[in-house]
């Protein structure tokens, strides 16, 4: 079948929306999904700086949502017409997958970032028949259709606004999962979030829903105003650093901190904002050695990296949609939709911070 998709052909080029070809329908265990919307995540844009590790030409996009139009075999657990949110790929067989920690799958980087499953490559070509990279994050959803392992497709209530749900598969899942799964935040806890982007604001919403007091740190006043609307106490990231202010606002420091920036200065500030035994989670990729200032890890403080919010997508995504229905996780307020044809404008708006979470909509419907 032939359909439209946004193709990235060179690391420095804009996306081109063109016709691509899937040679075969779903194999056993796969489903074909008509994409309703796909969020744009920092990880898509980081491909440009992957120095050749992520193969091109590729169809990116890993926060897809849509409708199942064909199933492969009888064991997918999904049926034609089901509404699904697509999440990251995992093998299902390694020690961490068996232990309900698919974000730490032994094959995570290979499956999601650096080439996908080889057996998928030959089936996906451009309009002239030249091979495209195997599916990105098991999906490649900047497109009208995506062929995905059923393992990565989570069925959702058809009453939900399907075209907006894709970011629940990665960005929003990462922030909310850190709060619910990694930290186990509850009433009486305090959380400081560094960086009020899609991941940070999802953490703010989740922590508020869990009854915690949240502080949001960012250098953009506009982002802080948005965080404040989501019930966070705003703190500007400016010299001499936000730690003292956070400690004053929270009666001596926070129980948890989440860094979404990857900035060494802010990570040290985050550690200084913690109470004794407090925990800092990092979600951004570090591009350099991380210098920790003396004393920042004293008194039982811990620091660890968190991938995909420690989530089992099939458990966390329904929890997030239920919270949205209850008015407690208003993620739609962070989204702006763009027709797929405007993907380069969406990238520009994402890069410049004009929009928190762009969602590409293949048929050009606007939210």
Residues that bind Zn ion (CB under 5 A): 41, 43, 90-91, 94, 97, 105, 170
Q: Which of 90, 66, 89 is nearest to 78 (CA)?
A: 66
Question: In whole angstroms, how close is the CB of 177 to Zn ion at the nearest point?
Answer: 12
Residue 242 three-state SS: coil
Question: In whole angstroms, how close is the CB of 40 to Zn ion at the nearest point?
Answer: 9
- The strand pair at 232-236 and 254-259 is best described as unpaired
- Report helix angle 221-229 to 198-209, nearest 10: 30
Question: In whole angstroms, how close is the CB of 167 to Zn ion at the nearest point?
Answer: 8
Question: In whole angstroms, how close is the CB of 44 to Zn ion at the nearest point?
Answer: 7
Q: Which is nearer to Zn ion, 173 or 303 (CB)?
A: 173
Q: Which is nearer to Zn ion, 170 or 249 (CB)?
A: 170
DSSP 16-47: EEEEEEESS---TTEEEEEEEEEE--HHHHHG
Question: In whole angstroms, how close is the CB of 268 to Zn ion at the nearest point?
Answer: 26
Q: Which is nearer to Zn ion, 22 or 283 (CB)?
A: 283
Q: Which is nearer to Zn ion, 59 or 91 (CB)?
A: 91
Is residue 154 within a helix (H) or strand (E), and if so which, with residue range? strand 153-156
Question: In whole angstroms, how close is the CB of 43 to Zn ion at the nearest point?
Answer: 4
Q: Which is nearer to Zn ion, 41 or 60 (CB)?
A: 41
- CA separation for the pair 124, 81 (Å, rounded): 24
The neighbour count for residue 14, using CB atoms within 10 Å, is 13
Q: Are the CB atoms for 296 and 312 separated by under 8 Å?
A: no
The residue count of the chain comes to 367
Q: Which is nearer to Zn ion, 260 or 268 (CB)?
A: 260
């Amino acid at each position: 079948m032939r359909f439209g998709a946004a193709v990235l052909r060179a690391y420095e080029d804009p996306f081109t929306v063109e016709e691509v070809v899937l040679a075969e329908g779903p194999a056993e265990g796969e489903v074909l999904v008509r994409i309703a919307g796909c969020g744009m995540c920092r990880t898509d844009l980081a491909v440009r700086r992957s120095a050749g590790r992520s193969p091109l030409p590729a169809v990116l996009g890993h926060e897809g949502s849509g409708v199942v139009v064909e199933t492969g075999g009888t064991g997918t657990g999904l049926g034609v017409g089901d509404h699904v949110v697509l999440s990251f790929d995992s093998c299902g067989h390694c020690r961490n997958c068996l232990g309900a920690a698919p974000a730490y799958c032994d094959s995570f980087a290979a499956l999601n970032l650096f080439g996908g499953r080889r057996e998928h490559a030959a089936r996906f070509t451009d309009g002239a028949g030249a091979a495209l990279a195997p599916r990105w994050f098991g999906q490649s959803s900047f497109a009208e259709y995506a062929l995905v392992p059923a393992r990565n497709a989570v069925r959702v209530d058809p009453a939900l606004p399907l075209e907006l749900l894709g970011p629940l598969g990665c960005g929003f899942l990462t922030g909310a999962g850190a709060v619910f799964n990694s930290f186990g935040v509850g009433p009486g806890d305090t959380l400081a979030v560094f960086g009020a982007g899609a991941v940070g604001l999802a953490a703010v919403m989740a922590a508020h829903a869990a009854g915690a007091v949240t502080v949001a740190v960012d250098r953009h006043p506009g982002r802080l105003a948005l965080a404040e609307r989501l019930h966070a106490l705003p703190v500007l990231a400016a010299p001499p650093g936000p730690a003292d202010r956070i400690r004053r606002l929270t009666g001596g420091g926070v129980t948890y901190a989440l860094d979404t920036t990857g900035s060494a200065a802010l990570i040290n500030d985050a550690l200084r904002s913690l109470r004794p035994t407090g925990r800092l989670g990092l979600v951004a990729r570090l591009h350099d050695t991380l210098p920790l200032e003396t004393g920042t890890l004293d008194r039982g403080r811990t620091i660890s990296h968190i991938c995909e919010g420690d989530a089992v997508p099939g458990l966390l995504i329904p929890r997030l949609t239920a919270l949205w229905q209850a008015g407690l996780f208003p993620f739609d307020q962070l989204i702006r939709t763009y027709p797929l044809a405007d993907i380069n404008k969406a990238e520009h708006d994402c890069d410049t911070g004009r929009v928190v979470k762009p969602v590409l909509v293949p048929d050009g419907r606007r939210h």
